[in-house]
Amino acid sequence: MNTIKRQLDGRDGLLTVDALAEGIYRIRLRRSRHQRESMLTRYGIIKTELPGAAVPETGAVSEDGVVISIESGGVSLTLDLSDTLSACYEDGGFRLRIPLEADERLFGLGDETRETLMKRGRKADLWQANVKSYGPIPYLMSSRGWGIMMNLTYRHSYDMGCDKADELRIDAFRGMADIYVFLAGSMKGVLDKYTSVSGRPVLLPKAAYGLTFVNNEEEGARDLLENCLMFRREKIPCDIMGLEPGWMSKHYDFSTDKTWANERFYQCYWLPKNYSGSWSMFYNLRQMGYKLSLWLCCDYDLLWKEEKTVREQKGADYDGAEITDEHFAGNIYMDKLTRPGEDWFEHLKRFVDQGAAAFKLDGANQVLEHPDRIWAGRYTDDEVHNVYPVIYGKQMKEGFEEHTGRRALIYTPSMYAGQQQYCATWAGDTGGGYKTMISIQNLAMCGHTNASCDLDVTQLSSIHYCFLMPWTQHLGWRNWQHPWFLGDELEGIYREYSQLRSSLFPYIYSAAHKAAECGLPIVRPLSLAYEGDSRFDEVLNEYMFGDSLLVCAFDMNMTLPEGRWTDWFTGKTYEGGGESFTYDPPKNKGGALMVRDGGIVVTQPWAPYLTHHDPTHYDVHIFPGNAQGEFILCEDDGETYAYKNGEVAKTRFTLSGDILTVSERTGSYTCVAEKQHMEENQESVAVTETRNQMPGLVPLYVKVHNPDGITGVTLNGEAVEFTLEDGCVCFTIPVSLHEKGEVVCWLIR
């Protein structure tokens, strides 16, 4: 790390500029020694060093007073902190000014608004609030190829060229000026750098990329199992079954003493509290291939754990006391809920032992202000409020990993900087309509990929869009909108979309791997996917879904990027780059699903559930044309964090004109076998786990769309037979050929 330091007027003032990596800088202006670092750094949520990164010379940085200019890779940025030295900021806080060019566009700040994506000309208030601002993120990036993150948890505001058209102004009246700067040649490059500091998006377990169904809270154990059975009998793929607050004996139990509601989820009292053997519903869930999700509410003081303080109660043996009174022993806490020294996740371990593999972190009470609370005996709520949901997600993710060694689906409505490395999110209690689509795209502009909302099964557009997002949740909290209660037509539509999502799993999961590697989200607003074209700044009803697919919902007025696009449902082609047009969805479809020329979409036969269902073959859909394309199929164990250590098998597909190249599969992983729960005299439960080698290669069934003029196909120079099916030229790349290495497919016209 290269550093510039300059003492300011006054004994304690200090300006520090650190070069962390090429195009990544950290600027701190400390007015006094009493100003301390943000909780984001103190609790290790964001990085202060990037080991192994190439660190640039600080010669790329110049400073004049407290005006700092930075240049890297042809991108420059000037940051003016001079107002921070004025009297109104003497007690803390800062003001930052950044000049804006006339054609500069701004994106980011997370789910602080659901009205727009492009933020130039707006004002924003970064403060966590129920519904109004579920996910404010102090990160902003420019179409010029720079981004900034405020390392700050206090409330602060942004004026993005509203009062003064050529200036970005950021005001905070508490907290030290601590600013990360990211410079790259593109917004995608800026996201890569930003997520290298704030954390790469977590890769969820396989099951999370299927369907999560949350049961009505009036339903009990038998209802839950019958719902499980109905999904299987009705051939509707489903992976995770969720329970709402009614699973607890005390409704909305914020304590660490929660237990199952015995009248609906009876637990045999003579068996261990973490029992999950054959006398329990957890056994039946496993037998049918389901994971279990539990709803949680939290008002626990999580900062005790982060501060790593342990308050030990002292004895009451006072010298000279005539009466020994235990009431005067130890400390007294106004917070009667939290148990300092007891981690929040500790009480959840027994539910995990029983099979809970997902947790829904409700907004209660993390989205509410706590104006009279002193967190961990030290911190006021104005500093803690924004970051509390991130700490919550962090402890849930890390607690589950430490206890099991596996990934969990942890999901919350609340976001702030760094949350993407711990949690998935859903758009809170706001349904599954059009505005949730904007919120998910705003989160994507901040490198958060695992976002969703509550599927609204009464709207065809919502069914369409919700099954084509990073993960899918159907909420049945207080309704009876189970698929089989919707009538034949809607049930059939639901079934088709659920099967479509299951078949798209290889494509979706590989896109999730890409997000975990470089921060590029699965859902990409057109302003990000085609960032040089400002026409897309106001297109809110469309997004790219991975590299090749485009989704449109709610508003059927479509604007397509340049090139030829093929309708996934009908095979009809459209030319992009021209005027907008009105798309007419085919019967029983809620919107458009298009594939660009050069697109490669790898699918599999749909499966009742994804975990431990290895495909018998892959379908490789290719769309030849003037554009080129690439797709990397990623396979791993689907359960653990071994992927972070490189335990991933990858197969690269490239399409250039009429040539499809399939690489040799590289890398490897071991599979986690289903856990076996062994009962010993019904007094304890021993859990065993085995790991096996990864599955072998499977046949690749190639489907060539828009095949006009194709008269033959060769594989590595040898002619092979092909067939015509549903308007596609189809042929197989056999395992025996792929095992030998790279396969080159020529389409002969």
Listing DSSP states for 480-537 in one string gives ---GGGS-HHHHHHHHHHHHHHHHTHHHHHHHHHHHHHH---SEEEHHHHTTT-GGGG
Query: Is residue 39 classed as helix, strand or coil in its secondary structure?
Result: helix
Structure tokens belonging to residue 626:
């003037």
Provide the pLDDT confidence category of residue 676 given band limits of 50, 70 and 90. very low
Structure tokens belonging to residue 2:
């290269």
Angstrom distance (rounded) from CA 534 to CA 511: 25
H or E stretch at 426: strand 424-426
Query: Is residue 476 classed as helix, strand or coil in its secondary structure?
Result: coil
Stretch 186-208: mean pLDDT, rounded?
98
Distance between the two ends of the chain, CA-based, in angstroms? 56
Report the mean per-residue pLDDT for the chain: 93
Helix residue spans in 530-643 (DSSP H): none
When the candidates are 2.30.42.10, 2.60.40.1760, 3.30.750.24, 3.10.20.590, the CATH number that belongs to 2-198 is 2.60.40.1760
Residue of 107, 139, 133, 110 lying closest to 120 (CA atoms): 107
Residue 150 has pLDDT above 90, yes or no: yes
Q: b vs e for 704-718, b when ≥16 Cβ sit within 10 Å of the residue's Cβ?
A: bbbbeebeebebeee
Whether the CB-CB separation of 230 and 485 falls below 8 Å is answered with: no
Angstrom distance (rounded) from CA 338 to CA 309: 14
Domain boundaries defined on the chain: 2-198, 207-217+238-310+335-426, 529-748
Whether the CB-CB separation of 439 and 135 falls below 8 Å is answered with: yes
Provide the pLDDT confidence category of residue 396 given band limits of 50, 70 and 90. very high
Provide the pLDDT confidence category of residue 63 given band limits of 50, 70 and 90. confident
- At position 180, the amino acid (one-letter code) is Y
Q: pLDDT at position 535, please?
A: 94
Q: pLDDT at position 691, please?
A: 67
* Percent of residues, the chain, with pLDDT higher than 70: 93
Q: pLDDT at position 401, please?
A: 97
Stretch 585-599: mean pLDDT, rounded?
98
Let me know if the fold of 2-198 is the same as that of 207-217+238-310+335-426: no
Which is more confidently placed, 486 or 56?
486
Angstrom distance (rounded) from CA 190 to CA 589: 36
Whether the CB-CB separation of 443 and 134 falls below 8 Å is answered with: no
CATH 2.60.40.1180 fits 529-748, yes or no: yes
**pTM of the model as a whole:** 0.96
Asked which of 45-59, 66-80, 496-510, 619-633 is least confident by mean pLDDT, the reply is 45-59
Angstrom distance (rounded) from CA 388 to CA 268: 37
For β-strands 451-452 and 424-426, DSSP reports them as parallel
Output the CA–CA distances (angstroms, integers) from residue 489 to 441, 457, 486, 493, 632, in the order listed.
Answer: 30, 12, 8, 6, 37
Structure tokens belonging to residue 282:
């957890």
Stretch 322-337: mean pLDDT, rounded?
74
Stretch 485-496: mean pLDDT, rounded?
98
Provide the pLDDT confidence category of residue 747 given band limits of 50, 70 and 90. very high
Q: pLDDT at position 688, please?
A: 53
Residue of 688, 208, 134 lying closest to 442 (CA atoms): 134
Strand partners, 375: 379
Q: pLDDT at position 333, please?
A: 84
Residue 314 has pLDDT above 50, yes or no: no
Structure tokens belonging to residue 708:
């006009």
The torsion region of residue 109 among left (phi > 0), alpha (psi -120 to 50) and beta comes to: left
Stretch 725-741: mean pLDDT, rounded?
97
CA dihedral of residues 367, 373, 374, 377 (deg, nearest 10): -100
Angstrom distance (rounded) from CA 674 to CA 292: 15
CATH 3.10.20.30 fits 207-217+238-310+335-426, yes or no: no
Strand partners, 473: 212, 454
Stretch 157-179: mean pLDDT, rounded?
97
Q: pLDDT at position 39, please?
A: 95
Angstrom distance (rounded) from CA 610 to CA 603: 13
Whether the CB-CB separation of 46 and 76 falls below 8 Å is answered with: no
Angstrom distance (rounded) from CA 729 to CA 704: 5
For β-strands 409-412 and 356-361, DSSP reports them as parallel
